[in-house]
Amino acid sequence: MVSSTTEENIDQKTLDFTIVDVFARRLFEGNQLAVVRTDQKHTSDQMMEITREFGYSETTFIGKSDPIDRPVKVRIFGLTGEMSFAGHPSLGTAYVLTKGKDADALTLVLGKGSVKIRIEKSGHNRLFEMDQGNPEFLGDHCKSDVASALGVNPDVLDPQLPVEGVSTGNSFIIVPFRNLQDLSRIRINKDTAQEYLKLHNAMHFYLVTRETVYPDTKLHCRMIYEKGEDPATGSAAGPAAAYMLKHHLTGSGEQVWIEQGIEIMRPSMLRVTGDVIRGSVENIKVAGACFEAGTGKLSIPD
């Protein structure tokens, strides 16, 4: 049956969009983001429809001609609803806003509040660094309980490091694995994992190991969730940086790289840093490069 809404009788508006690969080393790596620029008024339901049309983990919405010399309001939508904070959408949106402009910083206004983005020249590319502030350590978790929730043998977890909840805006449970092989071949039980996360008011597990694929990275990471696997998770990299500092896996002020997305053929590189001041972990920052994959116009019903 053909719908009565046809190409001939529908009034349409068009929205400008840019596709960005975030936390990438080159084009077609990293985490994909759609950035929509529009001065039209859209309801949350309409923005959700647009987000689902792109099908990426997140889509952001900004004004068509927002100036960057004052804070820019950004709305972030995931496939299940609006989000108050997310990592790669913040950096990818900053990339679009500053493309072709001589800018070294800007401020985004997200649901959780203002986020400062700094821009560094790195060879022919630019690195975008977000300030995630000071972390909140949410306590250790029983390793056997977490292993049971994930559906893995407790022996695959690193005996020298704790399972710990950490937040720099979004709450993650950092789960350290003994080695790269065990983490790379993991098949988690998503149902029991979701039950555990809900019980402990955490967003996701962030699975990590000190054994890496690339010699210049400090941590190998995976973020497997109910709808698949994330190529790069900026909002989890901040908690991972805080965890590394607390447990002496990196030093105060040291810039280190972590890797993610390798198992799903979307290699991602995230630079993290933070300070330890009088025993307190502070000033967490996450950075990465961005590449434009394409631009276009999206038609929507009037």
Examine the pLDDT at 9 and tell me if it is beyond 60.
no
Check residue 214 and report its DSSP letter. Answer: S
Residue 232 and residue 262 in contact, taking contact as beta carbons nearer than 8 Å: no
Residue 261 to residue 266: CA distance in whole angstroms? 5
Tokens of 265: 């053929």
Which residues, other chains included, contact 249 with Cβ-Cβ below 8 Å and sequence gap of 6+? 210, 218, 219, 243
Residues 202-217: tens digit of each pLDDT: 999 999 999 999 999 9
For domain 12-132+290-301, give the CATH number: 3.10.310.10
**Which superfamily does CATH assign the domain made up of 136-286 to?**
Diaminopimelate Epimerase; Chain A, domain 1 (3.10.310.10)
Q: What is the DSSP letter of 10?
A: -
Say what the pTM is: 0.91
Do strands 163-167 and 171-177 pair parallel, antiparallel, or not at all (unpaired)? antiparallel
pLDDT higher than threshold 50 for residue 83: yes
Question: pLDDT-derived band of residue 12, with 50, 70 and 90 as boundaries?
Answer: low
pLDDT in tens, 127-173: 999 999 999 999 999 999 999 999 999 999 999 999 999 999 999 99
With pLDDT > 90 as the criterion, what percentage of the chain qualifies?
86
CATH 3.10.310.10 boundaries in the chain: 12-132+290-301, 136-286
CA distances from 277 to 110, 134, 155, 165 (A): 27, 11, 34, 21
Asked if 288 and 128 count as a contact pair (C-beta separation under 8 A), the reply is yes
Check residue 159 and give left, alpha or beta (phi > 0: left; psi -120 to 50: alpha): alpha
Tokens coding 28: 């077609």
